Structure 1
């Protein structure tokens, strides 16, 4: 018997390949799913089943693709918001046998109506569960978000509370296998580790430790989570099934001439690090460092929109491309590895953005320049928790929709927690025609360290 965890970085998505007695099953596969077939073959197993814990909002499911490649049966929960056309419905209490390994279905709604957990038993060693795949119901250090049904907020929060009681009843000995780790948009307080047990969560997970259903509901309904526009695309594709991921993840390289002939609608996404973008970048480009693509690209790129990447090298372009493919933004036209001095030597335009040190910001508060404003683009939860007096707030993901609320004649210094999200926001402002923009590098972290 084996359990292989397969992590998709950036999304912090965790999927699992489980094998025994020549058979294997996969829990929550990603779109680029050949890895499961390869790993199963190495273990001498054939994939016969695919279990989905819920209809994902933050990535494309690889279940229908994996079923086509392997002939595996896909199982999904009841009460999905539409028919999951590529899956059979499984319900509470149903079991599946893989030699001495038994999988039992638990209906655990709350995060979504169709949420399932899958309890794992080794029938050669007693009747207690050895593990449980919890999807987005229970994480390490946190529990799932319940904001996808705003008109039923208290009801679904209560459903999640009930589901957690069902999961925890499996016993402290059971190991925990969630669908996401720290950094995912599906939870705010996940631990920065990927191993735990139900017993450990009972003692250390604050939300699991709440014994009052009413208190749990009160806490969940006051949470604030963001929903990027691409979630709607994921929900649609995860009902009907997406096309297979492109087999070659690296988009083709482009020459400067090819780049200049691209359609106006093309999104130019600079995936280099923050310092490189601030130093010199192409006019109209959007800064999203490659590791941050999964969290932020879906806010700014429309489904089907042509995309060109500006990368430091082909490996960085490939990484960004993989992230985009997993969230369905795969109309990739190519990439540039741009040497800005060489670009400018040919008379081609480039821009840069000034950066501000914490001492500069303190001086600006002491003697404010005319028309100057500090713009904080962290999440509303971060901002309400602690903020610099005199700053105004606009979340970086929602900034394109809030540009009309900003005065284009003002001088904006953009800040976040460290400067990375601030650089994304500054690129959005610059692209929208704001002419006086700079970035507070170090941002709130620097401010606190010198407070």
Structure 2
């Protein structure tokens, strides 16, 4: 019996897979913190003998090389990928024997990258699964624009052909196991569902139901911005990242925290946005662990800026560290635990208001002079927006601060998380802010947005 176990990384919207026959195992697309995979293998009593990469990843730093070295497994990467480490090169059509029962066939499926491979898994002569990486996703495909505009047209058309190749060569009952598509910005459009088969994708996936031109037009129209840290992932993965260091950083006292803030370093409070708004260390920023912490911190931080983490507990800091190493932010400069009173060392705490869209509507009807800042992405804004608001997508805010008019700023997004991030950023720079912590659906219901609902945060 073949068992396929997904290892979820919800902060990045990805999955790693461990597949085994009860004796030996293979791993596909392991995240940097691969101790989760080895723990799963140990619990199942299986030995990892092969580690496969579907592609050189753009949204995270791989743990594949370090995992393979630690457990003595073969590390399989496309022979055409230019990497600086020794690996077992694999090409289209090659079949790899894994133990006595598992056979893996490499299938060249360009589209997300030029050298992307999918891996079709056979057991007992039957096709049981295909690991599709950033090719065929649930109801979608991987985006084709991450290598730059010069490659997008070639890759989007290759992606359509790759999806069709998988559908033509594999039986309908073949289980589909993509790496991306669970919230990852590597997905061209929002993927649907948590499980699927080739047959189901034939019925529902635009890449398999639409003609090439319709697919291309629809996919390209759905592309939006992706995190800035993606630019650093490919080089890191081609260079061969090592095992992450998850040991605790040094502890900073209030004086050191103040010094770091005054030096322009990032001191990040990991508490939720409600607690942060009520009272926090002046000058600190807020990326709560309750939201897309690593995506937005990695997107906004100037790469290489020293980072200090503030958590209510050491466990919170450890959780943040684990998420950060996945995108190559390996060692925080320092940490502190407890609460804002502990971190401020007797100095007054900073705070700002939170409000709902009902409060905003009432304020708009009054005489107060303020600006409303919408920090959602362009496509969300196009679907529905409050007339008269200033629009700067969250990832552009740090570089466009001078475009935000003077005076009080009400910040909103679609659900509250991004508004909290930006409110903290502006408040740390001396702006008077109100964070709108509410669902955009309520703005629609109140008549503030005369259109259809925007995407959620």
TM-score (norm 1): 0.91
CA–CA separation in structure 1 for the residues paired with 2:255 and 2:365: 48
4+ runs deviating over 6 angstroms? none
CA–CA separation in structure 1 for the residues paired with 2:33 and 2:84: 19
CA–CA separation in structure 1 for the residues paired with 2:252 and 2:441: 38
* 1:31 corresponds to: 32
| Residues 107 and 343 of structure 1, relative CA distance in 2, 3 Å threshold | closer
CA–CA separation in structure 1 for the residues paired with 2:367 and 2:84: 57
CA–CA separation in structure 1 for the residues paired with 2:166 and 2:346: 63
Does residue 444 (structure 1) correspond to residue 445 (structure 2)? The answer is no
* 2:42 corresponds to: 41
* 2:427 corresponds to: 430
Q: Is the 8 A contact 1:158 1:213 kept in 2?
A: yes
Q: Cα distance, 1:276 vs. partner?
A: 0.6
CA–CA separation in structure 2 for the residues paired with 1:48 and 1:349: 57
* 2:218 corresponds to: 219
* 1:178 corresponds to: 178
* 2:51 corresponds to: 50
CA–CA separation in structure 2 for the residues paired with 1:442 and 1:42: 42
CA–CA separation in structure 1 for the residues paired with 2:259 and 2:172: 61
* 1:390 corresponds to: 388
Q: Cα distance, 1:161 vs. partner?
A: 0.1
* 1:141 corresponds to: 139
Does residue 413 (structure 1) correspond to residue 414 (structure 2)? The answer is no
Q: Is the 8 A contact 1:10 1:294 kept in 2?
A: yes
Once structures 1 and 2 are overlaid, which stretch shifts more, 335-344 or 324-333? 335-344
Superposition pairs of residues 350-361 of structure 1, within 5 angstroms: 350-361=349-360
Q: What is the aligned-residue RMSD (CA, Å)?
A: 2.1
* 2:450 corresponds to: none
Once structures 1 and 2 are overlaid, which stretch shifts more, 141-150 or 35-44? 35-44
Q: Cα distance, 1:252 vs. partner?
A: 4.5
Once structures 1 and 2 are overlaid, which stretch shifts more, 282-291 or 131-140? 282-291
* 1:289 corresponds to: 288
CA–CA separation in structure 1 for the residues paired with 2:48 and 2:339: 46
| Residues 238 and 381 of structure 1, relative CA distance in 2, 3 Å threshold | same
Q: Is the 8 A contact 1:251 1:321 kept in 2?
A: no
Q: Cα distance, 1:341 vs. partner?
A: 4.8
* 2:454 corresponds to: none
Q: Cα distance, 1:253 vs. partner?
A: 4.0
Show structure 1 runs of 5+ residues with no match: none
Does residue 197 (structure 1) correspond to residue 197 (structure 2)? The answer is yes
| Residues 361 and 102 of structure 1, relative CA distance in 2, 3 Å threshold | same
**Aligned residue-pair number:** 440
